[in-house]
Structure 1
Amino acid sequence: MSSNLKKSAEKVQIALNKFGLELDVMELSDSTRTAQEAANTIGCTVSQIAKSLIFKGKTSKRPILIIASGTNRVNEKSIKEHIGEKLEKANADFVLEHTGFAIGGIPPIGHKNPIATLIDNDLMQYEEIWAAAGTPNAVFKLTPKVLVEITNGEVISIK
């Protein structure tokens, strides 16, 4: 693993440590870049993968983090009604600029600046979920309740 990737995973662990909870980044030998790859590598269902997706507000140009269950697609019309503006897809440069992480390993926390966060209510049904930890091979396990707590996210229907 390159030192830049290792630093990204360490940055996530440092952010997790600030919460005083036992949340540990795990480096895996197989890729967790997609929700399906992550589920296969971890041995959980795809729905238990909390995928962090960065969008851009069409008017405000601010980043919006949507943490979706691995099987769900974001309904952009529904999100527009909730936040009051259309969403745009964020390109890789925008994502890196605002989070400090590359697409394929974006964690729900540890970003350069605080990002408005919406959490898929479908994640709330699980005892444990898994989130990316800064690299395509790093993840951490947590509960949905802890996800809401550490992200200060709002739980909504994203479908």
Structure 2
Amino acid sequence: MQTITKTAARIFPNIAARTKMQAKVLNSDDLENFMQERGIDGKIHILDVPTPTVELAAKAVNVDPDAIVKSILFLVDSVPVLVIACGTMTIDRSAVARMYGVGKKRVKLAPPDVVLSHTGYEVGAMPPFGHIQPIPTIMDPTILEQETVYAGGGAENALLRMEAHAIAEATGAQLVSVQRQSQAPDSDQT
């Protein structure tokens, strides 16, 4: 059982109340159902090849890597926070930390088992929404420079194609610049 700090409980009272999560593996059918139930426009493409990385995803659908969106789960004081960014972007943990008023060391990349337990999706397949529980989400505004983007589609061989602004609407994400601006030696490359 994870210990949730007082800071996390203050920042995320609803999620902080949950201390034990059960892992349920969701797939592209679950994502499709989520979208239909909520009237979210988008199309899930099932491909002949796996697309666990930005490069492989871009190649599979013959688009520029900037049109691929990644959804990365971080733990901020042990509480999950989803960051949605352009696939080619390096996410700055310091920017995420500033957003929640904590130090950079309190922002950690979630390990695969934690990603699964909080979202229901495996790393490399995670969509920007449709998770087993609501997750505070921030989205880098550079995504909105693209008209149409591809994101994780719920399975390693699936991609979700939709308009960039629709991702912001579907997730209720806060728009925050999370792009790393310099090559500082202690910055993470995520």
Give the TM-score of the pair, scaled to structure 1.
0.91
Q: CA deviation at 1:19?
A: 2.7
Are the aligned partners of 1:17 and 1:23 in contact in 2 as well (CA < 8 Å)?
no
Between the aligned residues of both structures, percent identity stands at 27
1:66 aligns with 83
Between stretches 92-101 and 19-28, larger displacement belongs to 19-28
Q: Which amino acid aligns with 2:84?
A: I
Which residue of the partner structure matches residue 38 of structure 1?
Answer: 57
Structure 1 vs Structure 2 CA RMSD: 1.5
Tell me how far apart the structure 2 counterparts of residues 26 and 35 of structure 1 sit (CA, whole Å).
15
1:18 deviates by 2.2
Max Rg structure: 2
Ranges in structure 2 where 5+ consecutive residues have no aligned partner: 1-23, 180-190
* SS in structure 1 of the partner of residue 94 of structure 2: helix
1:104 corresponds to: 124
Which secondary structure state, in structure 1, belongs to the residue aligned with residue 170 of structure 2? helix
CA distance in 2, matches of 1:88, 1:82: 14
SS of corresponding position for 2:33: helix
Question: What are structure 1's unaligned runs of at least 5 residues?
Answer: none
Instruction: Kindly state the Cα deviation for residue 144 of structure 1 after the two structures are TM-superposed.
Output: 1.4
- Runs of 4 or more off by more than 4 Å in structure 1? none
1:79 CA displacement: 1.3
Q: Deviations over 1:26-57 (max 9, x none)?
A: 10011211011000001111111110100111
Q: Is the 8 A contact 2:127 2:160 kept in 1?
A: no
- Are the equivalent residues in 1 in contact too, given 2:42–2:163 (CA < 8 A)? no
1:78 matches 2:95: yes
Offset of residue 133 of structure 1: 1.1
Q: What residue number does 1:54 align with?
A: 73
Check the 8 A contact 2:41/2:166 in 1, yes or no.
Answer: no
When normalised by structure 2's length, the TM-score is 0.77
